[in-house]
Amino acid sequence: MAEAARNVVCSGARPVGFTDCLNFGSPERPEVCWQFEQCILGMAEAARQLGTPVVSGNVSFYNETDGVAIAPTPIVGMVGILDDIQKACRQSFVASGDTILLLGENMEELGGSSYLATICGQVAGRPPMLDFSRELAVGRACLIGIQRGLIRSAHDCSDGGLAVALAECCVSNRAQLLGARITLPEGNRVDGLLFGETASRILVTTSDADVDLLLTIAKECNCPASVLGTVGGRRLKINDWIDCAVDELADCWWNGLEQKMGFL
């Protein structure tokens, strides 16, 4: 729910409502009934906190193979209102020299992450905590920055964490691939910092001249904010931990499915 609302905010729109599709195993199993109940309770609380009522939805039960249920899979479709289409925001980096900032805070929360599943082969751990007051503060700062023309791009950090979000910003505009140079604080667990999926984080870019004003707006919204680096070049560099050619990242992003299925 929070991620869906955050994606709407990153476009420059105000979240106003949602629909859902809730997919579970057999409701005749007590553990599946419990999963479904907890899902509904969580979504209802999020709807109240975010001010986004549910307007429709459906439920799909008995999703099982050989008696093994799928993982509980709620899907949310969030809609919002964009008052001025001219102020619509994109997720891809826009121009070399722009400053990259993080709205929100990095924490080492790897539980339930894509990194843990992909690299370590584990679906385990406590998922990241969600503070609705922080979520609303981050969204408010982002919307104000977009509406005032300060934010040139905005992209939420979710699946894959900060490093993946940065890579997506580099390559999601196929016509203009742009790299970045990022400096993150030392002393923390590196994989947690790069791939942890802490909630309530948005990557934004702004011109160098507008950095101080955007930081002031974030402070007024009670939103943590920090400068991460600069847009430019043809590589994504994060400290001395990651140094990847943007062309290679773009190939993975745009052609990954075909490569996986052997079409390329």
pLDDT in tens, 10-53: 999 999 999 999 999 999 999 999 999 999 999 999 999 999 99
**CATH 3.90.650.10 assigned to 89-260:** yes
pLDDT at residue 9 above 80? yes
- Domain 2-86 annotated CATH 3.40.50.300: no
Q: How far apart are CA 1 and CA 196, in angstroms?
A: 19
Q: Summarize the confidence of residues 124-135 as an average pLDDT.
A: 94
Confidence of residue 262 (pLDDT cuts 50, 70, 90): confident
Rounded distance between C-alpha atoms, residue 233 and residue 144, angstroms: 29
For residue 162, which of 131, 133, 209, 203 has the smallest C-alpha distance?
203
Measured in degrees and rounded to the nearest 5, phi and psi for residue 25 equal -80, -155
pLDDT tens digits for range 73-97: 999 999 999 999 999 999 999 999 9
Distance CA 159, CA 169 (A): 14
Mean pLDDT, range 122-139, rounded to an integer: 95
**What digits encode the pLDDT tens for the residues 203-218?**
999 999 999 999 999 9
Sequence-distant (≥ 6) Cβ neighbours of residue 170 within 8 angstroms: 92, 93, 177, 178, 179, 180, 236, 246, 249, 250
Band (260; pLDDT cuts 50, 70, 90): confident
pLDDT, residue 108, reads 86
**Percentage above 90 pLDDT, the chain:** 93
> Given pLDDT bands bounded at 50, 70 and 90, which one contains residue 237?
very high
Strand order in the sheet with 54-60: 54-60, 14-23, 73-81
Distances (CA, A) of 187 to 129, 191, 193: 22, 12, 10
Distances (CA, A) of 211 to 45, 76, 189, 206, 241: 35, 33, 28, 6, 26
The whole-number pLDDT of residue 259 equals 87
pLDDT of residue 195: 96
CB 92 within 8 A of CB 153: yes
What are the tens digits of pLDDT across the range 166-198? Answer: 999 999 999 999 999 999 998 778 999 999 999
Residue 173 CB contacts under 8 Å (≥ 6 apart), including other chains: 90, 92, 93
Quote the pLDDT of residue 17.
Answer: 97
Residue 162 has pLDDT above 80, yes or no: yes
Q: What is the mean pLDDT of the chain?
A: 95
- The domain ranges of the chain are 2-86, 89-260
